Each structure stands twice: as structure tokens, then as C-alpha cells.
């Protein structure tokens, strides 16, 4: 081993001391003196993987305030609910009034379609009921809030008592989160000769047709979808596409989003991420996440899948995760359309999880506002329950499209847009699917195997799929059947021998030698067994994720370091990580004794019959705050054989 030269050693010591002093003084500095609360930066990292998201098209959910329905242009409001392209009256007061219904359903995070002020007009018979034609990113669509709640010019920051603010307060009171849907790529299409008029809190700042300061690209519609330059710079469905090279534009959009984060927004869903270069997103996320370190961000890369290299690169390098269209398409094929491959199509997607650094953070779904609802593909309510049980128990964060729990669907024109956005009519909390979602949402909160664990197939045919989710001694066994009743001879479960109860049906199952024998599955049946072990507890909880390490069976990964929690460099006492997939190891590591201290650590590979292989670097360093949770997202630095 090469010893560190004296000068370098003193440099390191000096740097450590300086870092400690800096961090110490910043943490202890009065909060009003600094923009970023460092204690916050080092402690708060939202863990979204145990959430259950519910996606609402605000206009189609519930009308809590008929006074705002006519908006600026009453022509765009349809009182009969027959004109699918017009507003039907749903608003934020309506969402507030249904929060208890949603909480009881097990929803923990609400994704609302964009709330910003929209262009008021018809474009091909459609008003901007979806919220994706934005006029002013600093103002709320007046159709969604109280009649006199939009402020006079440049006053949005000063206004904190609107229906929007009440919604946030009511959500937080129920321990629920708000996901704001944002669009950075474009503003609005040409409506009666007006295109891309953009406002900054009521003050006009840009206009596509009079674009003196180049806020927009002017290259026409995308014609070749294989050409990345076109996809970034050309228009999508005639929407004025922003020129991200203009730093005035970038400052405007970042300032607008920060304003909403300051008002209590917990997470962002980002539209059309494929249509802007990755450097823009890296800059955007760096700044947004510095502003609010515990914000969770996910993007829509339309029809991404793990074979599609640019979308995988985006998920791994942009600073945000993405909606999992690949899994969605597989589920719709296997369960919605009866595809011959069945569950194997779904397994094929999970088999490529190693391509993502954070497969467990992908946002999973079976339908949304841009595709026919699942039941328009297959009206069988039992099949819908199988599909929902799958996304709620497999890796990723499930997102339920509004109305699913009421079997809401309109099959006109195959259920395609706009018929996938019907008005909510039923609020029955006794439906079987409502009960499923409620129970499985609780399971996600309770059992870390479901929220952060590995996903391992145990039995598969086109009609039957059994898998185990596993994290340490926490586990969850799931059996799904898309076909008719059958009996399976034997399925390995990982569960301890004895009797276990299905979370959904309360049926009892007996495990012998780790196996379920003669497992009876009814038609479109779902079985979920759960076992929760001890969960790590400490003043500080570090969620350590290590990527790009290749292990062979029998090899395991540990974290070794200079503090008692990591074994004081005694590798036999290092903290073990859990295998998630062939690219990812993960553990929740509790720290108490070292809370508030600067620690150094590195990863190492334990190998049977050979010396451990340590990372080839001096060390990693982290200032542990005195309390809270934080994520490490590290990449293995290849070790050298000694």
C-alpha cells in the first residue's frame, strides 16, 4: 500500500477542517442571512417511492365553485357536458371538497393537470381544458379559483390566501402532497392569428408573431421524428416552442416554478421532456433542487421504453425520473388486449431494469389523459383490478388516473382523446377496486420491500405471474392470474414456513419449505402476502444507492467508513447493501452516533474465498446533518486487485 505523502495528508486535513468550519458556520448562521438552508439541504430528501399518485384532469373532476365557470370567455364553457372540447366546470375548490374521499382511497400525492392561466380560445374545436397551452406561468387559470382571486399586475407573490393556497394547506393537513404539472417546452398554438403570447404575472413579455428577443424557435413542425435536432427545435402540433438558448426565457421559467414551490408544491411532473436538450433539464433541475432540495421531479418522455437509449440516458442523467411508458404499453398489451405473450411482455420490461439507475423510482401507470382508458381496451372490472394490483406491488411509483376506482370510462371512438376525460360522476367508496387501492397503498407505506426492494420473478406463464419483492427481511409475494381458475403445483415464495394471510382477501396460505403447494388461483385472481421486518432507525437515515457495480452470485456490496455505523474501516463490520438488480445495490443506513459529523466512506465488494475489493479512490465524504433523511446516489469506482 502506498502511504499518502505528508504534504497531501496535511492538505486533506486542512480541507476537512475547512469544510467542517464552513458547513458548521453555514448551518448555524441565522436563516435570514442565507438563501439556502444548508441543514435542509443535507437532511431533507423526499422519499417518493412509498407514495400512491392520483392524476386528475382538474376540469373533469368536481365543480366546487359554479361562479368561476364562465371564465373570461363564456363561449368556452359547456353547461351540458356534451362538448368534449369545452370546459365543464371542475376546479380547485372541487378538489378540496373531495380530499377526504381521496385520502380514504389511499391516495398520498395528487397530480393535477397544469393550473396556469391558459389562452382563451378554440383551437380545432378545443379549449385548453387540459392546461397545456399556457399564457402566464405565474398565474392560475381563473376557471380553477375564486372569481376575484387573480391579483392585479405583478402581485402573485404577495397573494397567499387563494383557493390554491387553501388546497395546499388542506393537502398538507392530511399528509398528502401536491404535484404541479409544468410545461417548459412550449406555450400556445395559433388561435385566430395569435400565437405564443406569453405573460409574466400579467405583463406581456413575448409573442411568437413579434419575436424581437428570440423567445421562440421558428423552424416549423417536426417532420422527421428520427432527427434529434428537429425534435428539440421544431414544433409539436403547432405549439410555439421556446428557445432555451435565451437566458431570459430560462430565468423566467425557473423563477415561475420556484414561486409555486415556495407556496408549498411538493413535486413536479414535467411535460414533453423529449423536446428540449438534456443540458436544459440538467440546469433546470440543479437550480430547482437547490431551491427546494426535497422536491421530487418526474418527466413525460412520450412512449419511452428501456430499449430506447436517449430516454434511458434522460432518466439516468437529467436529474429527474420519468413516467414508465414501456411498462404501461406491456401491461395494456398483456392485460388490456389479451396479447399472446401475456405476462412475459411485462417480465421483458422488468428484465431491462438494470439499464436505469433508479428503476424503483419510475412512475408507473396503466392509462392517462392521452390514451384510451384501460377499460376501453378491456371492460372486465376484474382485469382492471389485476392491472392495478400489478402496478401497486411491482417496482416503481404507481399513478392512478382519476375515476379508475369508479370504473369510469367512455368508449366512444375507442375511448380515444377526448373521450378518455369524462366527468367524474360516482364517489362510491365501496367498490372492489377502491378497496384494492386503499389496501395496497397502505402496503406501500408499510412494507419497504414494495417501495424500494428488488423484484424477482418466481413463476410465469402467459396467464400467471408470481413474483417476490424483497428488501432485507421484509418481503412481499404476489400472484396474478389473467386467465381462468387453475392450480399451480408449487411456487417458491422466500417466506418463512407457516400460515400467511392475503392482504386483499384475508385468505390463508400455508408455506412449507419456502413453497406454496397446490396454489389455487381463481379467474383474474390476485394474491398478495406481506411480511414486514425491522426497519432501520436512526437520527439520520441515509438511503445509499450504488450503481454500475457488477457482482457474481456470492458477491455482496458493503459500505465501509471512518465512523462506528460503518465499522470504523473494519470491513468485517461494514454496512451491507441489498441487491436490487444487476446495476443497483441499495440500503437505508441509520446514523446516530455520527449525526452532525463529517464522515468518510467508500464501497467494497465482499467475495467468498478472496480478499474484499475496495473502490479505487481515496474516499467519499459526507457531512451528516443532525437529523433527517438523505440520498446518496453513487457510482462504483472500479477497484484494483491487490
Q: C-alpha distances in angstroms, 554 versus 579, 609, 610, 611?
A: 11, 10, 11, 13
Q: Which is nearer to Ca ion, 63 or 588 (CB)?
A: 63
Q: Which is nearer to Ca ion, 68 or 163 (CB)?
A: 68
Question: Shortest approach of Ca ion to residue 73 CB, angstroms?
Answer: 15
Task: Answer yes or no whether residue 59 interacts with Ca ion by CB under 5 A.
Answer: no
Q: For cell 396454489, name the residue.
A: 519
The overall longest dimension of the chain from CA atoms, in Å, is 82
| 174 CB-near residues (< 8 Å, 6+ apart) | 99, 100, 103
- Cell numbers placing 91: 376546479
Question: Shortest approach of Ca ion to residue 236 CB, angstroms?
Answer: 7
Question: Shortest approach of Ca ion to residue 274 CB, angstroms?
Answer: 9
Task: Answer yes or no whether residue 375 interacts with Ca ion by CB under 5 A.
Answer: no
Q: For cell 422527421, name the residue.
A: 224
Q: Which is nearer to Ca ion, 270 or 328 (CB)?
A: 270
Question: Shortest approach of Ca ion to residue 250 CB, angstroms?
Answer: 13
Count of residues that bind Ca ion according to CB under 5 A: 9
Which range of residues in 25-33, 83-91, 389-397, 624-632 is near Ca ion by CB under 5 A?
83-91
Which range of residues in 171-179, 182-190, 222-230, 611-619 is near Ca ion by CB under 5 A?
182-190
Q: How far apart are CA 404 and CA 107, in angstroms?
A: 12
Which range of residues in 273-281, 348-356, 587-595, 628-636 is near Ca ion by CB under 5 A?
273-281
Q: How far apart are CA 137 and CA 117, in angstroms?
A: 7
The only residue of 42, 59, 60, 69 in contact with Ca ion, by rule CB under 5 A: 69
Residue 5 has what DSSP assignment? P
Question: Shortest approach of Ca ion to residue 356 CB, angstroms?
Answer: 24
Q: 87 with 130: CB under 8 angstroms? A: no
- Which of 561, 550, 568, 569 has its CA nearest to residue 607? 550
Question: Shortest approach of Ca ion to residue 473 CB, angstroms?
Answer: 48
Q: Which residues from 183-222 bind Ca ion, rule CB under 5 A?
A: 185
Q: For cell 365543464, name the residue.
A: 88
Task: Answer yes or no whether residue 138 interacts with Ca ion by CB under 5 A.
Answer: no
Task: Give the burial class of 347: count Cβ atoms within 10 A of its Cβ; 0-12 exposed, 13-18 middle, 19 or more buried.
Answer: middle
Task: Answer yes or no whether residue 300 interacts with Ca ion by CB under 5 A.
Answer: no
Q: 310 with 277: CB under 8 angstroms? A: no
Pairing of strands 515-521, 296-299: unpaired
- Which of 602, 594, 603 has its CA nearest to residue 564? 594
Please give the radius of gyration of the chain, using alpha carbons only, rounded to the nearest integer: 26
Strand, helix or coil for residue 307: coil
Q: Which is nearer to Ca ion, 94 or 336 (CB)?
A: 94
Residue 494 has what DSSP assignment? -
In the residue annotation, 24 being an active-site residue is answered as no
Which one is catalytic: 300, 324, 494, 565? 300
Task: Answer yes or no whether residue 241 interacts with Ca ion by CB under 5 A.
Answer: yes
Which range of residues in 45-53, 81-89, 364-372, 393-401 is near Ca ion by CB under 5 A?
81-89
Q: 527 with 509: CB under 8 angstroms? A: yes
The only residue of 45, 51, 65, 367 in contact with Ca ion, by rule CB under 5 A: 65
Question: Shortest approach of Ca ion to residue 287 CB, angstroms?
Answer: 19
Which range of residues in 55-63, 71-79, 322-330, 577-585 is near Ca ion by CB under 5 A?
55-63
Which range of residues in 64-72, 286-294, 399-407, 472-480 is near Ca ion by CB under 5 A?
64-72
Task: Answer yes or no whether residue 235 interacts with Ca ion by CB under 5 A.
Answer: no
User: H or E segment at 638?
Assistant: none
Q: How far apart are CA 378 and CA 298, in angstroms?
A: 28
Task: Give the burial class of 70: count Cβ atoms within 10 A of its Cβ; 0-12 exposed, 13-18 middle, 19 or more buried.
Answer: middle
In the residue annotation, 512 being an active-site residue is answered as no
Which range of residues in 79-87, 240-248, 312-320, 419-427 is near Ca ion by CB under 5 A?
240-248
Query: Length of the chain in residues, anyone?
Result: 642
The only residue of 45, 59, 63, 271 in contact with Ca ion, by rule CB under 5 A: 63
Q: Which is nearer to Ca ion, 51 or 65 (CB)?
A: 65
- Which of 581, 107, 109 has its CA nearest to residue 388? 107
Which one is catalytic: 244, 271, 324, 361? 271
Task: Answer yes or no whether residue 43 interacts with Ca ion by CB under 5 A.
Answer: no
The only residue of 39, 45, 59, 91 in contact with Ca ion, by rule CB under 5 A: 91
Question: Shortest approach of Ca ion to residue 36 CB, angstroms?
Answer: 30
The only residue of 45, 55, 89, 395 in contact with Ca ion, by rule CB under 5 A: 89
Q: How far apart are CA 280 and CA 233, in angstroms?
A: 13
Q: Which is nearer to Ca ion, 276 or 437 (CB)?
A: 276
Q: 623 with 598: CB under 8 angstroms? A: yes
Question: Shortest approach of Ca ion to residue 336 CB, angstroms?
Answer: 32
Q: Which is nearer to Ca ion, 68 or 113 (CB)?
A: 68
Q: Which is nearer to Ca ion, 86 or 602 (CB)?
A: 86
Q: Which is nearer to Ca ion, 273 or 516 (CB)?
A: 273
Residue 394 has what DSSP assignment? S
| Residues annotated catalytic, as ranges | 271, 300
Q: Which residues bind Ca ion (CB under 5 A)?
A: 63, 65, 68-69, 89, 91, 185, 241, 275
Amino acid at each position: 500500500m502506498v502511504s499518502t505523502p505528508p504534504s497531501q495528508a496535511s492538505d486533506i486535513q486542512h480541507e476537512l477542517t475547512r469544510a467542517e468550519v464552513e458547513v458548521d458556520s453555514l448551518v448555524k448562521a441565522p436563516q435570514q442571512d442565507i438563501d439556502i438552508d444548508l441543514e435542509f439541504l443535507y437532511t431533507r430528501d423526499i422519499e417518493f417511492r412509498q407514495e400512491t399518485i392520483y392524476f386528475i384532469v382538474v376540469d373533469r373532476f368536481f365543480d366546487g365553485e359554479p361562479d368561476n365557470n364562465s371564465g373570461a370567455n363564456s363561449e368556452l364553457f359547456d353547461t351540458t357536458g356534451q362538448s368534449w372540447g369545452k370546459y365543464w366546470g371542475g376546479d380547485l375548490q372541487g378538489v378540496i371538497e373531495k380530499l377526504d374521499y381521496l385520502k380514504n382511497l389511499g391516495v398520498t400525492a395528487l397530480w393535477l393537470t397544469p393550473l396556469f392561466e391558459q389562452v382563451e380560445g378554440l383551437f380545432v374545436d378545443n379549449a385548453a381544458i387540459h392546461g397545456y397551452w399556457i399564457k402566464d406561468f405565474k398565474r392560475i387559470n381563473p376557471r380553477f379559483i375564486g372569481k376575484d382571486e387573480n391579483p392585479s399586475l405583478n402581485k402573485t407573490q404577495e397573494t397567499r390566501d387563494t383557493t390554491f393556497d387553501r388546497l395546499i394547506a388542506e393537502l398538507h393537513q392530511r399528509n398528502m402532497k401536491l404535484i404541479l404539472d409544468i410545461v417548459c417546452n412550449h406555450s400556445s398554438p395559433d388561435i385566430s392569428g395569435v400565437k405564443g403570447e406569453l405573460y409574466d404575472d400579467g405583463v406581456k413579455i413575448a409573442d411568437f408573431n413579434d419575436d424581437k428577443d428570440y423567445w421562440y424557435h421558428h423552424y416549423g413542425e417536426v417532420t422527421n421524428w428520427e432527427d434529434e435536432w428537429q425534435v428539440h427545435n421544431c414544433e409539436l402540433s403547432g405549439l410555439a416552442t421556446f428557445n432555451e438558448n435565451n437566458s431570459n426565457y430560462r430565468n423566467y421559467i425557473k423563477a415561475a416554478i420556484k414561486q409555486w414551490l415556495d407556496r408549498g408544491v411538493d413535486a413536479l411532473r414535467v411535460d414533453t421532456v423529449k423536446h428540449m436538450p438534456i443540458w436544459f433539464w440538467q440546469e433546470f433541475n440543479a437550480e430547482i433542487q437547490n431551491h427546494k432540495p426535497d422536491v421530487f421531479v418526474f418527466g413525460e418522455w412520450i412512449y419511452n421504453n428501456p430499449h430506447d437509449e436517449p430516454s434511458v440516458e434522460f432518466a439516468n442523467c437529467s436529474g429527474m425520473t420519468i413516467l414508465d411508458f414501456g411498462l404501461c404499453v406491456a401491461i395494456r398489451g398483456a392485460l388490456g388486449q389479451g396479447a399472446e405473450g401475456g405476462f412475459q411482455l411485462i417480465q421483458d420490461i422488468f428484465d431491462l431494469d438494470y439499464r436505469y439507475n433508479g428503476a424503483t423510482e419510475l412512475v408507473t401507470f396503466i392509462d392517462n389523459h392521452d390514451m384510451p382508458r384501460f377499460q376501453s381496451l378491456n371492460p372486465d372490472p376484474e382485469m382492471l383490478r389485476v392491472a392495478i394490483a400489478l402496478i401497486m406491488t411491482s417496482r416503481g411509483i404507481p399513478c392512478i388516473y382519476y375515476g379508475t376506482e369508479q370504473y369510469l370510462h367512455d368508449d366512444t371512438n375507442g375511448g380515444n382523446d377526448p373521450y378518455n376525460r369524462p366527468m367524474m360522476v360516482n364517489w362510491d367508496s365501496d367498490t372492489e377496486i377502491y378497496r384494492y387501492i386503499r389496501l395496497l397503498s397502505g402496503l406501500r407505506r408499510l412494507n419497504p420491500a414494495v417501495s424500494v426492494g428488488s423484484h424477482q420473478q418466481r413463476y410465469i406463464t402467459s396467464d400467471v405471474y408470481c413474483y417476490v419483492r424483497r428488501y432485507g427481511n421484509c418481503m412481499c409475494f404476489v400472484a396474478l392470474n389473467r386467465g381462468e381458475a387453475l392450480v399451480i403445483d408449487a411456487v417458491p415464495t422466500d417466506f418463512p414456513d407457516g400460515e400467511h394471510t392475503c392482504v386483499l382477501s384475508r385468505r390463508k396460505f400455508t408455506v412449507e419449505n419456502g413453497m406454496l403447494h397446490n396454489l389455487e388461483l381463481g379467474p383474474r385472481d390476485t394474491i398478495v402476502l406481506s411480511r414486514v421486518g425491522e426497519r432501520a432507525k436512526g437520527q439520520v437515515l441515509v438511503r445509499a444507492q450504488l450503481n454500475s457495480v457488477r457482482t457474481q452470485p456470492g458477491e455482496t456490496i458493503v459500505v465501509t467508513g471512518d465512523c462506528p455505523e460503518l465499522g470504523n474501516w473494519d470491513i468485517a463490520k461494514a454496512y451491507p447493501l441489498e441487491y436490487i438488480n444487476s446495476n443497483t445495490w441499495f440500503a437505508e443506513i441509520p446514523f446516530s452516533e455520527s449525526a452532525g459529523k463529517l464522515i468518510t466512506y467508500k464501497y467494497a465488494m465482499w467475495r467468498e474465498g478472496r480478499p474484499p475489493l475496495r473502490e479505487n479512490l481515496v474516499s467519499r465524504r459526507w457531512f451528516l446533518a443532525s437529523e433527517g433523511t438523505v440520498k446518496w446516489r453513487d457510482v462504483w469506482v472500479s477497484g484494483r486487485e491487490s
